[in-house]
């Protein structure tokens, strides 16, 4: 983090909306924050699940639910094929728990990132057909993948295995010939929330299935499965996958956080909170996104996501703690690898040419499971769409992962570059802000040039002129633990960002912490606060302007307000 010429823009606050929120009892600071994010009335803060969009709005969900109900009635064997990230793991756990509660014979299989690649490939279908626990299934259900698996679905049909695709990624020009597809982003789907994560799609499929089974009298004489018990998993996968938190997703996440804070989460989720040193009783989106989710993701990045799924499926507290500890160990190894690769990437990138719109990096010794994290760090550092590549186990191929900036649709840019370099891109997928691809190694240079040109053509005007959106000053406000608690209780994330404030501060004292972070004592509006700037080693001026968040810091048995310095700004 260094002094930056980045422009700041204080979000506009509609006065009437803010007034209504304050009148309804919302904290004045939160009222202005909510109003600036489009909340126009107190009714929009009602987090009741009664406001969830109805499942019927999802194209294909009726067919999927009917086929699942029929399969359960016949006693068919089912196998869930999941993606190897946190969204895929939670979607798998939701599917397993929900389907079993409704009487299904179901098991799962997850591709290994290093051996099998992504999605329902023909190779994965052949492995499913010889499933070691359940045997050859009659039905495959994909979660968080499948929309681009044309060949895999065709292979399943050859073997006489039906396929239901549940996914949220953007489709290609053709759709797989599955028995049913549930994806809010498929052509013709009018579902109002296009931002469901894979776990959200699977949860909706279970809601529809339960309704069909209810109509058939399947629950006569016994309680219906309580699908709300899965909402902690839905919240975790939704936050960890960085999908846009529109109203519908915020409702799902809020409901999941309520269950976590009430001690009603799965044993594995509670164990992961503990392994991360976080308190589930006050669990927040930050905990899910920066502590719990990365520990599951680490397993998929470095080894096998199965340990993460088993943790989420575990009902025994002791075993859940053991699995969470294993995930924590894997995550520590991931951090070490990521730190080395990040330093190498920063050195390799240097100071990019002013006219360059993209960054594309490759090293022979990089780890394919961590390149996405490296791309994210470089994207943040240089504010350019970034692709990072590493070798694959397939000779002559590179695996790439990319992250983008607002105003540049990454998947569309890769698609255009692929069309202009025929034969270079073997496969790709993703969405606006993140994507992955497999590239022929000796075509990296022409693809890089095509990608640069594609981004220049597709980027929105002003995309490369970064602007920090802030929520103004807290100088005249009461900054205390009650305000922090109110902020932490809310749902923040992509499209509904957590509050970020800007103030001129007096730097009373500063020192380096572990040679990596700047520990500060500041005065804001004359009031003293402790603060920390993670990743910053350069000292601040005696009088500085900072963008910051407010945080509760528990240390030595006492809680205090701490400022988290996000950016040092020019005064």
- Please tell me whether residues 379 and 309 are part of one structural domain: no
363 φ/ψ angles, rounded to the nearest 5 degrees: -140, 145
436-465 per-position pLDDT tens digit? 999 999 999 999 999 999 999 999 988 898
pLDDT value of position 395: 86
Query: What is the C-alpha to C-alpha distance for residues 415 and 211, in angstroms, rounded to an integer?
Result: 39
Place of tokens 């983008």: 404
User: For residue 1, is pLDDT > 70?
Assistant: no
User: For residue 474, is pLDDT > 50?
Assistant: yes
Query: What is the C-alpha to C-alpha distance for residues 242 and 290, in angstroms, rounded to an integer?
Result: 11
Q: How do the residues of the chain divide into helix, strand and coil, expressed in percent and rounded to 5?
A: 40, 20, 35
Query: 116 lies in a domain?
Result: yes
- Which string of b and e fits 426-452 if b means at least 16 CB within 10 Å? eebbbbbbbbbbbbbbebbeebbebbb
Range 134-137 contact pairs with CB under 8 angstroms and sequence separation of 24 or more:
134/77, 134/79, 134/105, 134/106, 134/107, 135/77, 136/77, 136/161, 137/76, 137/77, 137/78, 137/79, 137/107, 137/161
Return mean pLDDT, the chain.
94
341-387 per-position pLDDT tens digit? 999 999 999 999 989 999 999 999 999 999 999 999 999 999 999 99
pLDDT value of position 3: 38
- Please tell me whether residues 445 and 500 are part of one structural domain: no
**CA-closest candidate to residue 139, choices 202, 77, 83:** 77
- Please tell me whether residues 200 and 249 are part of one structural domain: yes
- Please tell me whether residues 286 and 388 are part of one structural domain: no
- Please tell me whether residues 390 and 535 are part of one structural domain: no
166-207 per-position pLDDT tens digit? 999 989 889 999 999 999 999 999 999 999 999 999 999 999
For the chain, give me the number of helices (H) and strands (E)? 18, 17
Place of tokens 């996501």: 305
Query: 339 lies in a domain?
Result: no
Last residue of a domain, one of 266, 295, 328: 328
User: For residue 4, is pLDDT > 60?
Assistant: no
Domain interval for residue 409: 351-458
Query: What is the C-alpha to C-alpha distance for residues 143 and 64, in angstroms, rounded to an integer?
Result: 13
Q: Provide the token pair at 411.
A: 């998947």
**DSSP per residue, 5-38:** --EEEEPP--HHHHHHHHHTT--HHHHHHHHHTT
**What stretch of H or E contains 198?**
helix 198-215
pLDDT value of position 570: 79
498-552 per-position pLDDT tens digit? 999 999 999 999 999 988 899 999 999 999 999 999 988 899 999 999 999 999 9
pLDDT value of position 293: 97
Number of domains in the chain: 3
- Please tell me whether residues 82 and 196 are part of one structural domain: yes
In CATH, what number is assigned to the domain containing residue 431? 3.10.310.30
Query: What is the C-alpha to C-alpha distance for residues 325 and 199, in angstroms, rounded to an integer?
Result: 24
- Please tell me whether residues 504 and 365 are part of one structural domain: no
- Please tell me whether residues 62 and 36 are part of one structural domain: no
- Please tell me whether residues 284 and 378 are part of one structural domain: no
- 571 neighbors 504 (Cβ within 8 angstroms): yes
Query: 340 lies in a domain?
Result: no
- Please tell me whether residues 423 and 492 are part of one structural domain: no
In CATH, what number is assigned to the domain containing residue 498? 2.40.50.460
pLDDT value of position 555: 79
- 542 neighbors 507 (Cβ within 8 angstroms): yes
Write down the H helix ranges in 216-370: 231-240, 247-261, 267-275, 285-287, 293-302, 306-313, 317-349
- Please tell me whether residues 528 and 480 are part of one structural domain: yes
pLDDT value of position 280: 96
- Please tell me whether residues 254 and 113 are part of one structural domain: yes
Query: 344 lies in a domain?
Result: no
407-434 per-position pLDDT tens digit? 999 999 999 999 999 999 998 988 888 9
């Amino acid at each position: 983090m260094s002094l930056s010429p980045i422009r700041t823009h204080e979000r506009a606050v509609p006065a009437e909306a803010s007034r209504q929120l304050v009148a309804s009892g919302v904290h004045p600071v939160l009222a202005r924050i909510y109003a600036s994010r489009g909340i126009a009335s107190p009714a929009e803060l009602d987090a009741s699940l009664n406001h969830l969009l109805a499942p019927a709005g999802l194209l294909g969900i009726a067919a999927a639910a009917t086929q699942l109900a029929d399969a359960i009635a016949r006693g068919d064997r089912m196998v869930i094929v999941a993606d190897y990230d946190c969204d895929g793991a939670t979607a798998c756990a939701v599917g397993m728990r929900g389907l079993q509660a409704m009487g299904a014979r179901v098991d799962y299989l997850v591709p290994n990132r290093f051996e099998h690649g992504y999605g329902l490939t023909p190779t994965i279908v052949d492995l499913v057909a010889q499933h070691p626990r359940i045997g050859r299934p009659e039905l495959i259900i994909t979660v968080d993948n499948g929309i681009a698996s044309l060949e895999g679905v065709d292979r399943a049909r050859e073997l006489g295995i039906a396929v239901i695709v549940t996914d949220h990624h953007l489709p290609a020009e053709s759709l797989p010939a599955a028995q049913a597809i549930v994806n809010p982003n498929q052509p013709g789907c009018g579902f109002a929330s296009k931002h469901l994560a894979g776990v959200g799609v699977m949860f909706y499929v279970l809601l529809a299935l339960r309704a069909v089974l209810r109509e058939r009298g399947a629950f006569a004489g016994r309680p219906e499965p309580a699908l709300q018990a899965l909402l902690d998993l839905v919240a975790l996968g939704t936050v960890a996958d960085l999908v846009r938190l529109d109203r519908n997703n915020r409702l799902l996440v809020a409901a999941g956080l309520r269950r976590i804070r009430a001690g009603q989460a799965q044993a594995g989720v509670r164990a992961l909170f503990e392994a991360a040193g976080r308190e589930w009783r006050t669990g927040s989106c930050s905990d899910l996104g920066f502590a719990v989710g990365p520990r599951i993701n680490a397993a998929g990045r470095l080894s096998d996501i199965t340990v993460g799924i088993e943790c989420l499926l575990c009902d025994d507290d002791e075993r859940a703690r053991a699995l969470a500890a294993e995930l924590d160990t894997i995550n520590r190894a991931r951090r070490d690898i990521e730190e080395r690769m990040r330093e190498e990437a920063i050195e390799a990138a240097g100071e990019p040419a002013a006219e360059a719109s993209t960054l594309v990096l490759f090293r022979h010794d990089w780890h394919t499971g961590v390149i996405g994290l490296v791309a994210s760090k470089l994207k943040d550092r240089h504010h350019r769409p970034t692709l990072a590549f590493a070798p694959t186990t397939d000779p002559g191929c590179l695996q790439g992962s990319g992250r983008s900036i607002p105003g540049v649709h990454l998947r569309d840019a890769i698609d255009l570059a692929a069309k202009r370099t025929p034969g270079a891109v073997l496969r790709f997928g993703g969405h606006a802000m993140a994507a992955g691809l497999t590239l022929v190694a000796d075509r990296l240079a022409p693809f890089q040039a095509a990608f640069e040109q594609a981004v220049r053509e597709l980027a929105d005007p002003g995309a490369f002129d970064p602007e920090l959106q802030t929520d103004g000053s807290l100088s005249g406000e009461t900054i205390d633990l009650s305000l922090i608690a109110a902020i932490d209780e809310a749902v923040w994330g992509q499209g509904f960002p957590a509050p970020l404030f800007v103030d001129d501060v007096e730097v009373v004292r500063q020192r380096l912490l572990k040679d990596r972070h700047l520990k500060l004592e500041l005065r804001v509006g004359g009031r003293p606060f402790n603060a920390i700037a993670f990743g910053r080693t350069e000292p601040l001026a005696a009088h500085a302007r900072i963008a910051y968040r407010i945080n509760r810091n528990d240390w030595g048995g006492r809680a205090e307000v701490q400022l988290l310095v996000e950016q040092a700004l020019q005064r």
